[in-house]
Amino acid sequence: MYQQFYQRFLKANQGKQHYSCHSHYFWPDVTRDAMLAYWDDSAKWVDDKWSHFFKDVVPCVQRHISHTLGTDYPEQIVFAPNTHEFVFRILSCLDLAATQTIVTTDSEFHSFNRQINRLDEMDNIEVVRVPTQPFATFNERFINAIQQCKPNLVFFSQVFFNSGYSVQNIDTIVEAVKDEDTLIVIDGYHAFMAQPVDISAIQQRVFYLAGGYKYAQSGEGVCFAHVPPNTTLRPVYTGWYAEFGALEKRKDSNVQYSDDGMRFGGATMDFSGLYRMRSVFELLLSEGISVGDIHAHVKSIQHAFLFALDKLNHHLVNRDALLVKSLKQSGHFLTFSMPDDDITARLAAFLKEHGVLTDYRGDRLRFGFALYHNADEIDLTCLSNFKEG
Ligand SMILES: Cc1ncc(COP(=O)(O)O)c(C=O)c1O
């Protein structure tokens, strides 16, 4: 239905079924024009391009993101090449010389997980990792951990990368954090531009991280954070962008921070990703496609996919192997639990040989769905020829 936006990628991948869009979404053709516009602007304005970026491009993309998240503060959106930069910048607000407690889950993406594992080697850092499974009791167990541990930082994903489980009622988790000094970070990468997100009720309290590589269809190098307004945090890991715009008035230090989201800014970065992201927002707007429409389309494809699997009756890839049973609680990819890592890797390679592109994490096989999928193009018959032994 929406395939016309992706002509170049669809042409380049003819005969393939691309179920790894939850990692790398095809780029709509407008992003190619955006790259050319970036080049042209750089050639035209040379060093003066930066004022154009900060006066026009940044505020425009900030407005689109803020609207998508339901926030009232576009100026609180700040950009970086990856979410890891924000993760470490936020961590650098903690007093790492004192005892610090972090409550998180056992299913955070490597950018946070590896970093926190490294910090956990320090005697004064205590990391509490709440298992995400069983999903039905996740909120209750996570909230209990928050209440018991009185953490300095709470970090969790809105949709977990290793299962696709979409946390229900994130507001109630945030409301359970009573200490105003506790930092709260939501990794929204698998939710942003996939499912409708509304952080209006918690916008004063949370950092919300996401980026362009997945459902925002804009590629790498364009990640962002919503920074809670009026924060006085002073990240130790700071770059010169953090001093842009209006500065807070502080006499006891010559390191000044911006009053808005830029206080979590870094340093010189490639802005072509913002051009691409802007072009995607504008495309969707001009076509009248909302995140709700994208979500509804993907859910209908997921139903069709499971229906096709039911007909196939495969002993490995079937509804019983689904980690998240209800499509109402899953993100835009479905995760199937396989007997072991080896079978999963071989099955993914076999599917790839047969033009079915998936990805996997350990013993979990993931199938992602996008705007460019059509129900009548789903064909999984090759699965029947997979030899396990
Ligand atoms: C949940 C989640 N967060 C973040 C990222 C990306 O992290 P970074 O931008 O630090 O590479 C991914 C990428 O796959 C992810 O799945």
In DSSP notation, 4-38 reads GGGHHHHHHTTT-EE--TTTSPPPPTHHHHHHHHH
54 touches 62 (CB < 8 A) = no
Q: Please, what's the largest Cα pairwise distance for the chain?
A: 72
CATH number, residue 50: 3.40.640.10
Task: With respect to residue 389, please indicate whether it lies within any of the assigned structural domains.
Answer: no
**106-133 mean pLDDT:** 97
Q: How confident is the model at residue 184 (pLDDT cuts 50, 70, 90)?
A: very high
What pLDDT is stored for residue 387 in this prediction?
84
The tally of domains found in the chain comes to 2
Give yes or no for a contact between 275 and 34, defined as CB atoms under 8 angstroms apart.
yes
Rounded distance between C-alpha atoms, residue 250 and residue 90, angstroms: 21
Do 307 and 249 have their domain in common?
Answer: no
pTM value is 0.97
Collapsing DSSP to helix, strand or coil, 65 comes out as: helix
C-alpha distance from residue 237 to each of 124, 221, 310, 329, 354 (Å): 20, 19, 51, 36, 47
Q: Do 79 and 223 belong to one domain?
A: yes
Supply the pLDDT for residue 155. Answer: 98
- 270 shares a domain with 336: no
For residue 5, the model assigns a pLDDT of 93
pLDDT 10s digits, 283-310: 999 999 999 999 999 999 999 999 999 9
pLDDT band at 255 (very low <50, low <70, confident <90, very high): very high
Give yes or no for residue 1 having a pLDDT over 80. Answer: no
Contacts (Cβ under 8 Å, ≥6 apart) of 205: 174, 177, 184, 228
CA of 109 to the centre of ligand 1 (A): 6
**Residues 151 and 268 both lie in one domain:** yes
Where among 252, 282, 312 does a domain terminate?
Answer: 282
Q: H/E element holding 155? A: strand 153-157
Distance CA 74, CA 374 (A): 35
First to last CA, the chain: 40
Domain hosting residue 158, numbered range:
31-282
Question: What pLDDT does 90 receive?
Answer: 98
Q: Are residues 35 and 23 in the same domain?
A: no
Q: Does 64 contact ligand 1 (Cβ within 6 A)?
A: no
Specify the range with the lowest mean pLDDT, choosing from 45-59, 115-129, 247-261, 366-380: 247-261
- One domain for residues 151 and 294: no
Ligand 1, pocket-test mutation among 90, 104, 109, most atoms within 8 A of CB: 109
Answer whether 186 contacts ligand 1 (Cβ < 6 A). Answer: no
190 Cβ below 6 A of ligand 1? yes
| 377 lies in the same domain as 327 | yes
Query: Residue 253's pLDDT is what?
Result: 86
Q: Which two tokens stand for residue 360?
A: 């996997």
Task: Report the pLDDT value the prediction gives residue 167, as an integer from 0 to 100.
Answer: 98
CB of 108 closer than 6 angstroms to any ligand 1 atom: no
With residue 105 as reference, give the H or E element that holds it. strand 100-105
What lies within 8 Å, CB to CB, of 292 at 6+ separation is 196
Q: Which residues contact 17 (CB under 8 A, 6 or more apart)?
A: 355, 356, 357, 377, 378, 379
Separation of 193 CA from ligand 1 center, angstroms? Answer: 14
Taking the centre of ligand 1 as the mean of its atom positions, its distance from the CA of residue 223, in whole angstroms, is: 9
Report pLDDT digits (tens) over 316-368.
999 999 999 999 999 999 999 999 999 999 999 999 999 999 999 999 999 99
Which ligand 1 atom sits nearest the alpha carbon of residue 111? 10
120's tokens: 């956990």
Q: How confident is the model at residue 124 (pLDDT cuts 50, 70, 90)?
A: very high
Amino acid at 308: A
Which of 23, 83, 155, when mutated, tests ligand 1's pocket best, judged by the most ligand atoms within 8 Å of its CB?
83
Where in 212-305 does DSSP place strands (E)? 223-226
Question: Confidence band (pLDDT; 50, 70, 90) for 251?
Answer: confident
Instruction: Please choose, from the candidates 245, 199, 200, the residue with its C-alpha nearest in 3D space to the C-alpha of residue 210.
Output: 199
DSSP per-residue string spanning 232-251: ----SS--GGGG-SSB---S
* CB distance 89 to ligand 1 below 6 Å: no
Distance, in Å, from the CA atom of 365 to the CA atom of 367, rounded to the nearest integer, reads: 7
Query: Could you tell me the pLDDT band of residue 30, with boundaries at 50, 70 and 90?
Result: very high
Does ligand 1 have an atom closer than 6 angstroms to the CB of 211?
yes
CA of 48 to the centre of ligand 1 (A): 32
Q: Residues 228, 335: one domain?
A: no
